[in-house]
Chain A
Amino acid sequence: MKSFYSKKSVTPIMIVLVAILLVVAGCSSNQNSTTATDNKAVPKSITMSWPRDIGTMNPHTYNPSQLFAQSMMYEPLVSYQSNGKLTPALAKSWDISKDGKVYTFHLRPNVKFSDGTPFNADIVKKNFDAVLKHKDTHSWLGIVGVIDQTEVVDDHTFRLTLTEPYYPVLQDLSVVRPFRFLGAAGFPDNGDTAEGIKEPVGTGPWLLSEYKQDEYAVFKQNPNYWGTLPDVQQVTIKIIPDAETRVAAFEKGDLDLIYGEGVISLDAFNQLRENQEYTTQLSEPVGTRSLLLNSSNPKLADIRVRTALNQGFNKKDMVEGITSGLEEPADSILSKNYPYTNIDLKPVTYNVASSQALLDEAGWKLPAGGTVREKNGEPLEFELIYDKTDPIQKAMAETIQAEWGALGAKVNLSGLELTVQIKRLKANDFDLYFWYNYGAPYDPHSFINVVASPGFGISETLSAVPNKKELDQQIRATLSSTDETKRQELYRSILTTLQEQSAIVPISYIKKTAVYHKNIAQFVFPANRDENPFSGITLNAQ
Chain B
Amino acid sequence: MIKRWKAIFLGQKAIMICSILIIIFFGAALLAPWIAPHDPIKVNLLQKLKDPSAEHLLGTDHLGRDTLSRLLYGARISLGFATVIFISSLGIGLIIGALAGYMGGWIDSILMRLCEGIMAFPNLVLVLGVVGIFGPGLMQVLLALMLVQWVYYARVCRNMVVSLKQQNFITAARISGSSSWKIIYKHIIPNIQRPIIVIGTLEMGWAIMDISALSFLGLGIQPPHAEWGAMIHEGTSYIRSHPELMIYPGMFILVVVVTFNILGEALSEKYGVKRR
Q: Which residues of A contact B (CB under 8 A)?
A: 265-268, 270-271, 317-318, 320-322, 388, 391, 394-395, 397-399, 401-403, 412-415
Contacts and interface: CB of A to CB of B under 8 A. Distances in A.
Contacts of B238: 267
14 contacts: A321-B45, A321-B46, A388-B218, A394-B223, A395-B63, A397-B223, A398-B41, A398-B223, A399-B45, A402-B43, A414-B222, A415-B218, A415-B222, A415-B223
A398 B222 contact: no
B239 A267 contact: yes
A326 to B, nearest CB: 13
* Closest CB pairs A-B (n = 7): A321-B45, A402-B43, A391-B237, A267-B240, A399-B43, A317-B45, A398-B224
Contact of B43 (A320, A398, A414): A398
B62 A270 contact: no
Contact of A322 (B45, B46, B239): B45
Given A267-B237, A267-B241, A322-B45, A401 B224 contact: yes
B42 interface: yes
Contacts of A322: 45, 62-63
A412 B42 contact: no
Given A317-B46, A395-B62, A402-B42, A413 B240 contact: no
A412 B225 CA distance: 11
Given A395-B63, A402-B224, A321 B48 contact: yes
A399 B63 contact: yes
Contacts of B234: 391, 394
A419 to B, nearest CB: 14
A413 B64 CA distance: 19
A415 B45 CA distance: 21
B93 to A, nearest CB: 33
Interface string B184-226: 0000000000000000000000000000000000100011100
A95 B189 CA distance: 94
A120 to B, nearest CB: 53
A402 B64 CA distance: 12
Contacts of B218: 388, 415
Contacts of A402: 41-43, 63, 224
Contacts of A318: 45
Interface residues of B, number: 19
Contacts of B48: 321
B222 A412 contact: yes
A267 B222 CA distance: 23
B223 to A, nearest CB: 5
Nearest to B218: A388
B237 A266 contact: yes
A270 B241 contact: yes
Interface SS of chain A: helix
A320 B42 CA distance: 18
Nearest to B240: A267
B221 to A, nearest CB: 11
Contacts of B46: 317, 321
A485 to B, nearest CB: 44
Contacts of A265: 237
Contacts of A395: 62-63
A268 B238 CA distance: 8
Contact of B222 (A320, A399, A413): A413
Contacts of A271: 240-241
Given A270-B241, A271-B240, A388-B218, 7 more contacts: A268-B240, A318-B45, A321-B63, A322-B45, A398-B223, A402-B224, A413-B223
Contacts of A403: 43
Contacts of A398: 41, 43, 63, 223-224
B30 to A, nearest CB: 22
Nearest to A319: B45
A267 B61 CA distance: 13
A391 B233 CA distance: 10
A121 to B, nearest CB: 53
Interface string B224-254: 1000000000100111110000000000000
Contact of A413 (B62, B224, B237): B224
Contacts of B41: 398, 402
A372 B240 CA distance: 39
A337 to B, nearest CB: 27
A321 B62 CA distance: 9
Interface in B63-81: 63-64
A318 B63 CA distance: 9
B47 to A, nearest CB: 9
Contacts of B42: 402
Q: Which of A267, A320, A401 has the largest count of B CB atoms less than 10 A from its CB?
A: A267
A401 B224 CA distance: 8
Contacts of A320: 45
A267 B92 CA distance: 47
Contacts of A317: 45-46
Contacts of A413: 222-224
A388 B237 CA distance: 13
A128 B62 CA distance: 51
Contacts of A391: 234, 237
A162 B223 CA distance: 52
Nearest to B62: A395
A412 B234 CA distance: 18
Interface in B19-51: 41-43, 45-46, 48
Contacts of B239: 267
B128 to A, nearest CB: 15
Contacts of A321: 45-46, 48, 63-64
Nearest to B239: A267
Contacts of B240: 267-268, 271
A403 B240 CA distance: 29
Nearest to A271: B240
Contacts of A266: 237
Contacts of B222: 412-415
A394 B239 CA distance: 17
A404 to B, nearest CB: 11
A316 B62 CA distance: 16
A456 B238 CA distance: 35
Nearest to A391: B237
A401 B41 CA distance: 9
B41 to A, nearest CB: 6
Contacts of A388: 218
Contacts of A412: 222
Nearest to B237: A391
B215 to A, nearest CB: 11
A131 to B, nearest CB: 41
B268 to A, nearest CB: 30
Contacts of B63: 321-322, 395, 398-399, 402
A7 to B, nearest CB: 33
Contacts of B64: 321
A412 B41 CA distance: 13
